[in-house]
Amino acid sequence: MAEMIDLMSFEASQLWDFMARLDTEKWSRPSACAGWTVGDVLAHLTQGARTWSAAITRATAGDANPPAGEQTLRPGERGSEATAQRAIAFRQGMGEAELLHAFAEYSRT
């Protein structure tokens, strides 16, 4: 497990370094994900890191419930569209430096 954590930390720092070198125009370029910019993808990863960190923290305290205000998906239900829209709105609500800071904070926890 320690090796996996070290690997993920290394990969997160490499991604942070790559994104920090991009200018604003490159953050806005389309990514390989249809309808998403490069910055949207980083916002999605940032939100994922925040969500999983909170879920693991709750689970280790014995709480297996979804986060406050959210519901567990029903069998066959997908949360992809809502997740995508949240990531795009998250990215649009901040600048590149603020998003990089959030990514660094949540990818270390």
**Does the pLDDT value for residue 109 go beyond 70?**
no
* Sign of the dihedral through C-alpha 55, 61, 67, 71: positive
Angstrom distances, CA of residue 37 to CA of 41, 43, 64, 69, 76: 7, 10, 33, 28, 28
Identify the pLDDT of residue 75.
86
pLDDT one-digit tens code per residue, 54-103: 888 899 999 988 887 777 878 887 777 778 888 889 889 888 999 999 99
For the residues 19-25, what does the mean pLDDT come to?
94
Do the Cβ atoms of 103 and 46 come closer than 8 Å?
yes
pTM above 0.85, yes or no: no
> Any bridge partners for residue 30, and if so which?
37
Identify the pLDDT of residue 14.
94
pLDDT one-digit tens code per residue, 1-17: 889 888 988 999 999 99
Identify the pLDDT of residue 8.
87
**Does the pLDDT value for residue 21 go beyond 70?**
yes
